[in-house]
Structure 1
Amino acid sequence: MIVIFKLLLATALVIIFVQDVKERQVYWFLFPLVGVCCGILHFKSTLTELFLTSCIINFSFILFLLMVVKVYSKFKLNLKLKDVFGLGDLFLFLALIFSFSSISFIITFIFSLLFSLVLHQFNYSKKNHNNVPLAGYMCLFYLFTYLGYWSGLIDSVYNI
């Protein structure tokens, strides 16, 4: 049964990556699918109390991050949040809340943002889009993270 959720998660992450990079549009139902699959895999690997605590802390981290982006976009860039940050990015952030324990989540989330920045710098000159396919790049990073964990290269993502 767990294998089905792993396959669904990997497939959804790949589809989000491809759609976001090519079209800058992603099917909305993929984000809840990612959230449910991440949540089930995390829930099955830890205690209920730890799962709920991690989700609350992860949500708080995302909320803080979004507030910082909102303040920065308003005062520094003089733009509205919707002009700086895509709805798909928000949906992915919310779906990933259920993915890992808090420390692992914060570390993987920050490194996925750095990965997205580096990847976009390499691809920026080749594209004619002005925006970054953040959700797509992050999905690619999370796919690599999950594959590393499932193959045994990464020791644990649920206990740290």
Structure 2
Amino acid sequence: MVAFYIIVIIILLAIIWQDFKERAVYWFFFPVLIILVIIKDSYVGNLPFEEYFVNLSFIGLQVSVLHNYYYIKKRRLVKMESYLGLGDVLFFIFLGFLFSPITFLVFQLSSLLLILLYLLFLKNNRNIPLAGCQSIILIIIILINPFTQETLFNSDEILIHYLTRIYE
């Protein structure tokens, strides 16, 4: 399991480097990451195809809503690359395979909010290195994970438990 996380962190560091430097990421990183997640899940004995489907459906909905927003705003079809890069969508898909559904939604929403806050302090926010920024957040989670009692990736029950304890 340690080897899995080391390989994932190395690939995420490459994504960060490329996204911040060139605002583009090699596409082949993402199938490698997805295959690694599937191998890890099958090694653990848990291939949650239903969870993959739920997360990928949410990603499809998210991209569709964004595309429709730009269609309505510009009153014409706009190329997706002008507002969301292919690397960003492929990174979302990788996250969909990595996380369970509720954990995926929490990660996606909280990371996007953190990136939005980060951008408020920048003057030039024309191009957002979204995959790179989310990779930084994911590396932090991967490094924190060994110090928790539970895994942070496939644990909707644990997340629900912690969220309900907040409101007690």
TM-score (norm 1): 0.84
User: Aligned to 1:52, which of 40, 49, 53?
Assistant: 49
- Write the letter of the residue equivalent to 1:85: L
Task: Measure, in 1, the Cα distance between the counterparts of 2:114 and 2:54.
Answer: 23
Structure 2 residue identity aligned to 1:21: F
Decide whether aligned partners of structure 1 residues 80 and 25 sit closer, same or farther in structure 2, where only a CA change above 3 A counts.
closer
C-alpha distance in structure 2 between counterparts of 1:136 and 1:74, whole Å:
26
| Counterparts of residues 59-78 of structure 1 (less than 5 Å) | 59-78=56-75
Distance in 1, matches of 2:146 and 2:74, equals 41
Whichever residue aligns with residue 25 of structure 1, its letter is A
Cα distance, 1:119–1:37 mapped onto 2, change above 3 Å: farther
Partner of 2:144: 148
Alpha carbons 1:31, 1:95 under 8 Å: kept: yes
Alignment partner of 1:98: what SS? Answer: helix
What is the alpha-carbon distance in structure 1 between the residues aligned to residue 42 and residue 104 of structure 2? Answer: 14
The answer to whether structure 1 residue 130 and structure 2 residue 126 are counterparts is: yes
Determine the structure 1 residue equivalent to 2:18.
19
CA distance in 2, matches of 1:18, 1:27: 11
Task: State the Cα deviation string for residues 32-78 of structure 1 (Å, max 9, x = none).
Answer: 22222333334445633xx1111010001101101100100111244
Distance in 1 (CA, whole Å) between partners of 2:118 and 2:41 is 28
Deviation at 1:21, TM superposition (A): 0.9
How many residues align structurally? 154
Larger CA deviation: 86-95 vs 28-37: 28-37
Distance 2:90 2:14 in 1: 15
Q: Which moved more, 1:92-101 or 1:66-75?
A: 92-101
The 3 A distance-change label for structure 1 pair 113 and 93 is same
What's the offset of the Cα at 1:116?
1.7
Whichever residue aligns with residue 131 of structure 1, its letter is N
Letter in 2 for 1:139: S
Q: Report percent identity of matched pairs.
A: 30
RMSD between aligned residues? 2.1
Change (3 A) 1:71 1:86: same
TM-superposed deviation, 1:120? 2.6
- The structure having more radius of gyration, on CA atoms, is 2
My pick for the range that moved more, 71-80 or 87-96, is 71-80
